[in-house]
């Protein structure tokens, strides 16, 4: 006996309700497990297909054989799409991203064929007292510079950047260098201005951080070189890193989600980003979008894994000289390119000074050494290394 239309409609509703409920639960679970991009939509598509099949079967709109063929084809397409997604995902994850920091041993002051620059003549100021050599530390990007200072002023010796046991000229990173300076383990560090937390740490320790400018540098933003965007405004940078702008289309690029990388807290570049944000709230990034080392933010932006949608930041000398990568593109900011001309003219908005930072050490050679760094000879080494001098 053939059922009435209203009976079939009731059966259809009763069949679709549990399918819809299962779809809701399935999409929620896949979204929580990180499948928002593929498995959540797939769950909804499968549920929709099952609902349509149930309604067609209840109303007996096609023969059982035709319905079976359609259902088998639908299932095959879903399985084929899943296989393609997983194969592509496995390929992308197989791409190695090198996040090891560059080897600083190439810049040691007196090594044979060192990359640290020299004056070409004897410096007007020399430290002859080996017992009172100021202990140095600093940012990775500034090690080539203060290694050049050491080469000009310190007595010749094997100063290794990673010799923490009794090293004189170390390079531990900005965050660690500030800790060592505050703890009295370093006399001078070369770094960007301290973060708020580093200032508070110094205050708790009863130390006063004294910042002496020794050169200037550009803080730069970069994208994968296949990205069509060539520049951003200061306001766009703030909106991207506050989460207000999330797609490159909103910044003149393609319809691609922006993956805005950040650095670890208290690193020099992260502190600079926080200063640029001013009153805008810096968004909290996913854990996988925080690079532990400076080279990591460059390699992630350059790598295919990011589908050319990433945005990173660093300092000009590090990004273009120490760890240059032809797969990234430095962005103009407010229409000004990040180069020495932009820095010296004052037109590049993210030009900044870097410092020799002290915290009250009694070493008698600290003050004359820093004064020499600010002299014509010291500033000559700033220029020769690749930074911009104070003058």
pLDDT mean over 141-159: 94
* Predicted confidence (pLDDT) per residue in 225-261, tens digit: 888 999 999 999 999 999 999 999 999 988 988 988 8
Give start and end residues of each alpha helix (H) in the chain: 5-32, 39-59, 64-94, 143-153, 174-182, 196-204, 234-242, 268-277, 294-302, 316-317, 340-345, 366-373, 376-385
b (16+ CB within 10 A) / e for 31-60: eeeebeebbbebbbebbebbbebbbbbbee
Q: Is the pLDDT of residue 378 over 60?
A: yes
The answer to which of 35-39, 144-148, 200-204, 258-262 has the lowest mean pLDDT is 35-39
Mapped onto helix, strand or coil, the DSSP state of residue 178 is helix
Q: Is the pLDDT of residue 313 over 80?
A: yes
Average pLDDT, the chain: 86
* Predicted confidence (pLDDT) per residue in 81-134, tens digit: 888 888 877 765 555 444 445 678 889 999 999 999 999 899 999 998 888 999
pLDDT for residue 299? 56
- The confidence band for 324, taking pLDDT boundaries of 50, 70 and 90, is low
pLDDT for residue 91? 60
pLDDT for residue 123? 95
pTM (predicted TM-score): 0.70
- 351-358/210-224 β-pairing: antiparallel
* Predicted confidence (pLDDT) per residue in 294-306, tens digit: 545 555 555 645 5
pLDDT for residue 295? 47
Architecture per CATH, 217-351: 3-Layer(aba) Sandwich (3.40)
pLDDT for residue 147? 96
Distance, in Å, from the CA atom of 179 to the CA atom of 207, rounded to the nearest integer, reads 12
pLDDT for residue 325? 67
- CATH for the stretch 115-208+363-385: 3.40.190.10
Q: Is 69 left (phi over 0), alpha (psi -120 to 50) or beta?
A: alpha
Give residues with Cβ within 8 angstroms of 287, minimum separation 6. none
pLDDT mean over 198-225: 94
Q: Vertex 25, ends 22 and 31: CA angle to 5°?
A: 135
Neighbour-count burial of 301, counting CB atoms closer than 10 A to its CB (0-12 exposed, 13-18 middle, 19+ buried): buried
Mapped onto helix, strand or coil, the DSSP state of residue 333 is strand
Q: Where are the domains of the chain?
A: 5-94, 115-208+363-385, 217-351
pLDDT mean over 312-321: 84
pLDDT mean over 259-273: 83
Of 388, 390, 356, 378, nearest to 153 by C-alpha is: 378
Task: Answer whether 144's CB lies under 8 Å from 107's CB.
Answer: yes
pLDDT mean over 52-73: 87
Mapped onto helix, strand or coil, the DSSP state of residue 166 is coil
Q: Which of 7-11, 26-30, 36-40, 174-178 has the highest mean pLDDT?
A: 174-178
The partner residues of 336 in beta bridges, in order of sequence, read 333
């Amino acid at each position: 006996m053939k059922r009435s239309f209203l009976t079939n409609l009731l059966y259809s509703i009763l069949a679709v309700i549990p399918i819809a409920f299962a779809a809701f639960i399935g999409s929620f679970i896949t979204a929580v497990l990180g499948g928002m991009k593929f498995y959540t939509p797939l769950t909804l598509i499968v549920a929709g297909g099952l609902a349509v099949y149930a309604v067609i079967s209840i109303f007996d709109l096609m023969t059982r054989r035709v319905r079976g063929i359609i259902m088998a084809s639908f299932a095959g397409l879903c399985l084929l799409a899943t296989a393609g997604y997983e194969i592509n995902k496995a390929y992308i994850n197989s791409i190695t991203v090198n996040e090891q920091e560059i080897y600083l041993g190439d810049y040691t002051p007196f090594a044979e064929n060192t990359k640290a620059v020299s004056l070409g003549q004897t410096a007007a100021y020399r430290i002859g007292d080996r017992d009172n050599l100021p202990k140095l530390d600093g940012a990775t990007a500034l090690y080539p510079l203060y290694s050049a200072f050491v080469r000009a002023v310190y007595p010749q010796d094997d100063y290794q950047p990673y010799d923490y046991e009794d090293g004189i000229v170390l390079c531990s990173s900005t965050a660690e260098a500030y800790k060592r300076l505050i703890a009295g383990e370093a006399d001078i560090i070369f770094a960007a201005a301290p973060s708020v937390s580093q200032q508070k740490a110094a205050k708790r320790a009863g130390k006063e951080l004294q910042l002496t400018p020794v050169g200037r540098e550009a803080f730069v933003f970069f994208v994968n070189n296949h990205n069509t965007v060539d520049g951003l405004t200061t306001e766009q940078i703030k909106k991207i890193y506050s989460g207000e702008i999330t797609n490159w289309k909103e910044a003149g690029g393609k319809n691609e989600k922006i993956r805005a990388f950040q650095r670890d807290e208290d690193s020099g570049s992260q502190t600079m980003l926080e200063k640029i944000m001013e009153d805008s709230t810096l968004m909290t990034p996913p854990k996988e979008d925080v690079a532990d080392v400076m080279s990591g933010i460059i390699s992630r932006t350059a790598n295919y894994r990011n589908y050319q949608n990433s945005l990173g930041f660093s300092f000009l000398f590090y990004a273009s000289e120490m760890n240059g990568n032809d797969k990234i593109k430095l962005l103009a900011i407010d229409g000004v390119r990040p180069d020495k001309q932009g820095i010296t003219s004052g037109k590049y908005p993210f030009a900044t000074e870097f410092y020799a930072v002290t915290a009250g050490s009694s070493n008698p050679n600290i003050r004359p050494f820093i004064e020499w760094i600010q002299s014509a000879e010291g500033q000559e080494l700033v220029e020769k290394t690749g930074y911009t001098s104070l003058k």
